[in-house]
Amino acid sequence: MFRIENAQSLVGIAVAIGICWGLSENRRAFPWRLAIGAVLVQAILVLALFGLPALRSALHGVGQAVDGLSASTQAGVAFVFGFLAGTPNQPYALTDPGSLFVFAFRVLPVILVVCALAALLWHWRILRWITQGFGVVFEKTMGLRGPPALATAATVFMGQVEGPIFIRSYLPTLSRSELFMLLAVGMSCVSGSTMVAYATILKDVLPNAASHVLTASIISAPAGVLLARILVPRVPESEVSLPLEAEQDKVYESSVDALIKGTTDGLSIVLNVAATLIVFVALVAMVNGILGMLGQVHGAPVSVERILGFIFAPLAWALGIRWADAPTAGSLLGVKLVLTEFTAFIRMGAIPNGMIDERTRVIMTYALCGFANIASVGINVAGYSVLVPQRRGEIMGMVWKAMMAGFLATCLTASVVGVMPSELFGHEPKPPAKATVPVLKPTLAPSPAASAPEPVTP
């Protein structure tokens, strides 16, 4: 049933597109057909994936596969680290079962296993066919040329820097608009390895978490393409002929070689994620320590999270979230932008069921599922400096704008999901409640099962 809250999400669609149009390099070149088509494609995909019984069953199967993958990964972790992996048999009496969830042992190893499996599926040509199929879809439905379409599809599964590797030889000749689009799409989506990690974090507080995370990353790609085209419109005269020939950078000698190299690649991602989280969370903790010297405001210390919550609360409301949850949701949006989406998902996973509305949790899953954050700016600059060093200066001038496009693309996706009736996702809307702002403490790995801090009325 369509309700006022669904109409409220239309505001988010207008805000995301309107901001990009206001900052466009050519406001007269607004891609009307692409705008209507991209939003419709997103809506149709959501309705089909969650509304059609066959596709809904397939998504449910994906969730079960993720659970099985997580359980299998824990078997390997337990073999190496023993009781530190959070096994039921602990050498000490437990006073807090939630403390068994340790991020380093429960989430990061999943990335290793998924990277190894992705390399194996690529060697068997399964993932390669899927990527090329999505590339054809993007080329035919969104008017992308062959190489950028392939890179866009690869980005959905491989990541923001790994995707463009498949068209590495074409990068120097791409137009400015196409290069910006790859940057924006890379920050609009997440990689296959992190999809599974996010689903693992949210599975205790969000039914069908894997289905939502997978859907979010796929449908955010059209949103990223749309907002990139609005900010940096296409100039056909600047596009040279690009016959599509897939790169051969990902070549493995055998299945065992694919597993070994995939594991090695996964290890670098794991170390990068862990190091980034440690540094950024530590920096925010230091800032919070300084802000805490200002004393309490409305019964709680001033913190980065509370400030971001007040700043982004109106945007969260525009996505279709009830005002009672807007400060909490706004804080999560700010944490995602400043501290990475990993930290934001950890924070949301630590909020117990009942503290925020189920609809809020679903919408925020889509809003957070993207690489658009400050850390990704550095990752993109470093990655593209290796892939296409002759255009490093051009990339430096576009990367911050691309981060904004990626951030707004996930907000656009969340708004499209918010327009959908709540019954589509299997939950009923709750009556309005008093607005609260949870005092979120900067910690690396709180347990999703652990109790969140007491809310404080703003």
Does some domain include residue 308?
A: yes
What pLDDT shows up at residue 22? 93
Task: Please say whether the beta carbons of 420 and 366 come within 8 A.
Answer: no
Residue that is written with structure tokens 């051009």 in the block: 394
Maximum pairwise Cα distance, the chain: 70
Please report whether residue 240 resides in a domain: no
Q: SS3 string of 25-50?
A: CCHHHCCHHHHHHHHHHHHHHHHHHH
Residue 189 — φ and ψ, nearest 5°? -115, 180
Tell me whether residue 182 is in a domain: yes
| Position 92 in a domain | yes
Query: What is the span of the domain harbouring residue 192?
Result: 4-235+246-456
Residues of the chain with pLDDT under 50: 244, 246-248, 432-458
* Alpha-carbon span 329 to 352, nearest angstrom: 14
Q: Side-chain half-sphere of 422: how many Cα atoms within 13 Å?
A: 16
Domain assignment present for 241: no
Q: Are 435 and 348 in contact (CB under 8 A)?
A: no
What pLDDT sits at residue 229? 92
Q: What are the tens digits of pLDDT across the range 162-180?
A: 778 777 777 888 888 889 9
Q: How many domains does the chain have?
A: 1
Q: What is the pLDDT of residues 356-387, one digit of tens each?
A: 888 899 999 999 998 888 888 887 887 788 77
Distance CA 168, CA 164 (A): 6
pTM, 2 dp: 0.79
